[in-house]
Structure 1
Amino acid sequence: MQTKTWQLPDNFIIGAALSAWQSEGWSGKKEHQDSYLDLWYKNNKHVWHDGYGPAVATNFRNRYKEDIGYMKEIGLTHFRTSINWSRFLTDYENAVVDEEYAAYISDMIDELQAAGIEPMLCLEHYEVPAVLFEQYGGWASKHVLELFLKYTEKVLERLGDRVKHWFTFNEPIVPQTRMYLDAIRYPFEQNTKKWMQWNYHKALATAHVVKLFKEMGLKEKTGAEIGVILNPEVTYARSTAAHDQEAARIYDLFFNRVFLDPSIKGEYPEELLDLLKKHDIMFESTKQERLIIRENTVDTVGLNLYFPNRVKARTSAWNEDIPFHPERYFDPFALPGKKMNPYRGWEIYPTIMYDMGMRMKEEYGNIKWFIAENGMGVENEPRFKNKEGIIEDDYRIDFISSHLKWLLQAIHEGSNCQGYMLWAFTDNVSPMNAFKNRYGLVEIDLENNRNRALKKSAHWYKSLIETGRFEAEDEEIYK
């Protein structure tokens, strides 16, 4: 198959992402400043690959100037990360700022901007303080929501005049899905109603932050925007048959529209609310809260897209004696002959970029959006080093190219996509998988003081940013 040269639109963002907890390490952290992730790691260190976790991570906290130097060398225009809520404050009830950590965040922003890199900051990337999780049940509690707003106000008071890209949450559905729906992460409790309450409180928190943003006049003062970063799974039915289509529709309600709709449209799908009531998992809410959601939708949305989700109608009866789970309505479907990333166990299907782009255009008012994460994790990358010691990660270059190609087709057809952020800037710690699968443009050498080195993909990414052009297979795409 022949290749073709593709051209990015003017002013298209090309950047990379990395969260606080996955990079900073614990240097300077006070004893009581654990996040939920720190708590989980301390309680279940053995389930993290080779025992690596957030304790050291990539040591970004002490090496951020070095790392920003690599960002500048690559030519990143934007860098997305998070502020660690559990570390930004010393007193969560009264929102007392940890001046040492706040100074680090301020210095990091200065360093980024001096390098010509726009910071994009997320207020919570799984980093709910452990003490709030233990005392109040985390996001099950309205009090925790109130404390999050106090924290947010402190952050915006200090940094709101310097940063133009703000986000409430990264993948707000993920922690509670792992904890309370599938019960595969600490504290391993299957509680679907609690799962739904966490979902609701995070959607409500986003609306409250949007309201605060308006009240502070940040958009008028600086042109700043407030959004949320979601991870909708582009869901395909096994077949065109009604039963399979229904399975895909219900999956979409529970896992995608549960955040897309309140964040962008200001309301929940009535079909979803009916199902929550039917199965006695309806979240507790007030009319005033629902009004806040309706009147405070986001300016922009980041979407993390890695793989497609495929489902089919259930082929066995659901056991009504066990707690409700959305899987009552569907089974996973493995597409025969699918292309796979064998290391992560995820299907590679770049068409998700186009299909999601068209959905944002047609179902969500063509809101301004961007790819907040997309990337490929590969195990044992040192085996791909050449004689100069550079990891030749052509598979990553091919992955990015094929996804960008489909994204450009969506833009060509009118989808309001503003950019692409690669996960990740460097190799980093992931939940449980730790450093097993590597995602970075920059290698982190765990055997050699976590020294850094650019991979082949970093040089390719630099060329992409400088020229706005890339090569990809000229396969048939939607017209």
Structure 2
Amino acid sequence: MKKNPKTFPNDFLWGGAIAANQSEGAYLEDGKGLCVADINRYQGDVEITKRSNKEITVQEIKRALEDTKGYYPKRTGIDFYHRYPEDIALLAETGMNAFRTSINWSRIFPNGDESEPNEAGLLFYDRLIDELLKHGMEPVITLSHYEMPLHVALEYNGWYNRKTIDFFVKYCEVIFKRFQHKVKYWILVNQINLISFESFNHLGIPADRVSNLEEAKYQGIHHELVACAKATKIAKQINPSMHIGIMLFDAIAHSATTKPEDILATVKMNQMEYFFSDVLLRGYYPGYAFRFFEDHNIDLQIDEEDEEILKNTADFLTFSYYYTRIADAQHREPYINPALPASEWGWSIDPIGLRTALNLYYDRYQLPIMITENGIGAYDQISADGKIHDPYRIDFLRQHIRQVKEAIADGVDVRGYFPWGPIDIVSCSSSEMSKRYGFIYVDKDDHGNGSLERSKKDSFAWYQKVVESNGEIL
């Protein structure tokens, strides 16, 4: 009788993941335009569990652009733009054989609607990708990770405008042609189902430009899904060996009770989280989506040719995993399970939930899976010996990697694991530096002060052993 493997595959991708907008800085260098993340202000005056990048109005955008007193950390990041050779060399010491980052759309097309790309931006990513390859790291590149050119949001209302399809597809085509022989794995859109917590950062739709924001978001998502399908088709025409992936934020909820109405409510909530991957991996709109749109008075404008375009499906699934939530019939949205331990930011800690998610996704799609984000944000302290001891991070990652191994034993085709922020970067949702995920400490605080010196945490040596042993030593 055939038996499932009990170990990680020999070619398993042990990596780390960052985003351009949270790390690079250099926000106006070498012809780069402003992107949506460049207006994310540090929200030190807001309770940490409530800091996010949800809806933004045109007035708020203009206020951010005129602000000379507020601090916008993503404009400077950790200066990865200038320090990437040293940072990649340091990360390579862990033994990681893969690295995920994004290309900042606004470095390539500063306004988004230009006829020609910015060559200086392309040259930067040439150098960056070459550096990864030199150190034996497989590049996994995200094309849209909260880096839409701000001009596209202000001038065209972001993804709400069908014209943005052409802007994005042109950008993708330029990138695919340029890097087709260097990059094998592509993720088109980061966490494509995240339209609540990162609403404007993702979709670029100013809240005051539309009369029905929920409808506008799903119209924007439709345009984004069509753009992804078009980009996938183009990628295969350019180089059939390129692998195109889609990425979810794992938001699968578990029923809060055994009541039938709570179970049904949970199923319906989960359907609309699967919706995005169902379209991009199966190639058509599922029936439950039409019921959802009807129940919520959402009237989408779908062109006749879209149905055919959507048949250009992706090759693999990736997702981020941070926490699980529960749901019931009394709440429209899932919520954090109070019975589970949580991080200082209120994110529940549920390693077994990762194994559950892997099984559910694989049962549904039967396609290769990568976990392209996983980690815990924590306040790291420099001890009296001058080092950062982070047993809490090691314990978190250890427990989750164990569950990935169990999922492989369950028969799930898991190809890679990428801890989020292997080097400290600016937080996505709260623009903090103090919410740290990395194996490498960056000397910079929430207000931009610090030497930017890099130093290894205890988790660095631990991850070295994990990678060297191919997940056998945890």
| TM-score range relative to shorter protein | 0.7 to 0.9
- The Cα shift of 1:205 comes to 1.4
- The Cα shift of 1:174 comes to 2.7
Contact 2:246 / 2:318 at 8 angstroms: preserved in 1?
Answer: yes
Quick one: structure 1 residues 36 and 334, their matched pair in 2 at CA, closer, same or farther if it must change by over 3 Å? closer
1:12-161 matches, within 5 Å, as 12-26=12-26, 28-29=28-29, 33-41=33-41, 43-44=63-64, 51-90=71-110, 92-161=112-181
1:212-251 matches, within 5 Å, as 212-216=234-238, 218-219=239-240, 223-251=241-269
Quick one: structure 1 residues 66 and 250, their matched pair in 2 at CA, closer, same or farther if it must change by over 3 Å? same
1:355-370 matches, within 5 Å, as 355-364=356-365, 366-370=366-370
- The Cα shift of 1:9 comes to 3.0
Contact 1:181 / 1:191 at 8 angstroms: preserved in 2?
Answer: no
Q: Deviations over 1:315-340 (max 9, x none)?
A: xxxxxxxxxxxx5xx35455343111
Matched letter for residue 410 of structure 1: A
User: Take 1:390 and 1:8, find their aligned partners in 2: how far apart are those partners?
Assistant: 32
**SS of alignment partner, residue 74 of structure 1:** coil
User: Take 1:127 and 1:269, find their aligned partners in 2: how far apart are those partners?
Assistant: 29
Quick one: structure 1 residues 54 and 334, their matched pair in 2 at CA, closer, same or farther if it must change by over 3 Å? closer
Which ranges of structure 2 fall in alignment gaps of 5 or more residues?
1-5, 42-60
The farther-off stretch of 125-134 and 223-232 is: 223-232
Counting matched residue pairs gives: 440
Equivalent residue, structure 2, for 1:317: none
- The Cα shift of 1:371 comes to 0.2
- The Cα shift of 1:269 comes to 2.2
Which ranges of structure 1 fall in alignment gaps of 5 or more residues?
1-5, 315-326, 473-479
Equivalent residue, structure 2, for 1:209: 231
Equivalent residue, structure 1, for 2:44: none
Which one has the bigger strand percentage? 1
* TM, length-normalised to structure 1: 0.86
Q: Does 1:262 align with 2:264?
A: no
User: Take 1:275 and 1:131, find their aligned partners in 2: how far apart are those partners?
Assistant: 32
1:433-444 matches, within 5 Å, as 433-444=431-442
**SS of alignment partner, residue 29 of structure 2:** coil
Quick one: structure 1 residues 276 and 187, their matched pair in 2 at CA, closer, same or farther if it must change by over 3 Å? closer
Contact 2:8 / 2:408 at 8 angstroms: preserved in 1?
Answer: no
**SS of alignment partner, residue 419 of structure 1:** strand
Quick one: structure 1 residues 180 and 158, their matched pair in 2 at CA, closer, same or farther if it must change by over 3 Å? closer
Quick one: structure 1 residues 349 and 458, their matched pair in 2 at CA, closer, same or farther if it must change by over 3 Å? same
- The Cα shift of 1:464 comes to 0.8
Q: Does 1:311 align with 2:309?
A: no
* TM, length-normalised to structure 2: 0.87
Equivalent residue, structure 1, for 2:47: none
Equivalent residue, structure 2, for 1:194: 216
Matched letter for residue 407 of structure 2: A
Contact 1:45 / 1:51 at 8 angstroms: preserved in 2?
Answer: no
**SS of alignment partner, residue 301 of structure 1:** strand
- The Cα shift of 1:287 comes to 2.9
User: Take 2:459 and 2:121, find their aligned partners in 1: how far apart are those partners?
Assistant: 32
